[in-house]
Structure 1
């Protein structure tokens, strides 16, 4: 198998963090999205949306979408469990995955598309969309901060895939996109320092 990766992207980083937490080594190939390698016909056969990452299995099956890739490895290597154990905890992990995606990653992505100089070269930007989604991202950060007031990790007391997804999202938003959380979100800040200190964060 091979994992098609792009070092600067938040979605590929989710998978790298997840694999590091699992202790799984997978052959990787970097795809240069800046030269639009991911938009070439042969690559679009692997993923018609052109998105990265993609896991190509030995039988030629291609799995795209970062969380789907993580689920695949969770099934093969259930320890340590990063999608929860038991019906209740698995549902809580799934709930917080959706909340991170919808309330933080989506608005940060919209600011990236409509408010960043790099994407201005590719599409017609709508500044109002960027402004609106900065507000939404702030609300998403606060949602996580409130959850972390009483929990060590986002989905509870154990590190999970949610923390990997949220860390990659947070760093992308606060870094390249320029949408950091407010300084008074102290619970979120403590969580970020803790998960950033884990060896997996440098994967």
Structure 2
């Protein structure tokens, strides 16, 4: 299999962290240069018509091109260590938590960065600065909720490390790098401790 990615992009990091946590080997990494718009070239669009990274090309030539879908495939390929739930009940609650992290935390961070950071101007045309700043404020609402949630439990879902933690951690790292977001500076001590603890995992 081949995993098409851009090392600095947050969604590929979600998948590579999932792969590391699974101890999966034998997946070839192919770097796609977003800076030169390689992801918009005919060769890459033939694999993913939506031009996003990552994309996983299977041995039979089929391509999966959404992070959650890629992880679902890999979970089926190697069920242990389990990251997505072992029962229908657990799977549902983990997926709920993961979707919250993806849509409300990760999504707000991505929109803020894409529409306010000058380094992303070439990739996001047009940029809507007011929208981006509004998304940054929405992210803080979610971060405050997550801080309180993590005061009660060490992980985002199921009382153990799951895909929801991968999504949350990669979102926080994206914000740390390009939004200069440090939870402790805003009094979010539980969120900061969580980020620091997850960062110590080999997969991170």
TM bucket, shorter chain: over 0.9
Query: Partner residue of 2:9?
Result: 9
CA contact (8 A) 2:97 2:156 kept: yes
Query: Partner residue of 1:78?
Result: 79
Map Cα deviations across residues 168-192 of structure 1 (whole Å, 9 max, x no partner).
1110012123344453111111111
Query: Partner residue of 1:172?
Result: 174
Q: CA deviation at 1:42?
A: 1.6
CA RMSD in angstroms, aligned pairs only: 1.3
Map Cα deviations across residues 42-63 of structure 1 (whole Å, 9 max, x no partner).
2101001100000001111000
**Within the alignment, does 1:46 sit opposite 2:51 as a pair?**
no
Map Cα deviations across residues 1-49 of structure 1 (whole Å, 9 max, x no partner).
1111111010000011111111002111111111111100121010011
Map 1:31-70 to 2 at 5 A: 31-70=32-71
In the alignment, structure 1 segments of 5+ residues that lack a partner are none
Query: Partner residue of 2:23?
Result: 23
Query: What SS does structure 2 have at the residue aligned with 1:164?
Result: helix
Which range is displaced more, 77-86 or 111-120? 111-120
Q: CA deviation at 1:129?
A: 0.6
Map 1:149-168 to 2 at 5 A: 149-168=151-170
Query: What SS does structure 1 have at the residue aligned with 2:88?
Result: helix
TM-score (norm 1): 0.94
CA contact (8 A) 1:12 1:52 kept: yes
CA contact (8 A) 2:182 2:192 kept: no
Query: What SS does structure 1 have at the residue aligned with 2:136?
Result: helix
Map Cα deviations across residues 69-119 of structure 1 (whole Å, 9 max, x no partner).
111010011011100121221111101111111211111111112101012
Q: CA deviation at 1:156?
A: 3.0
How far, CA to CA, are the matches of 2:139 and 2:64 in structure 1? 29
How far, CA to CA, are the matches of 1:102 and 1:52 in structure 2? 17
How far, CA to CA, are the matches of 2:145 and 2:87 in structure 1? 25
Query: What SS does structure 2 have at the residue aligned with 1:199?
Result: coil
How far, CA to CA, are the matches of 1:6 and 1:161 in structure 2? 20
In the alignment, structure 2 segments of 5+ residues that lack a partner are none
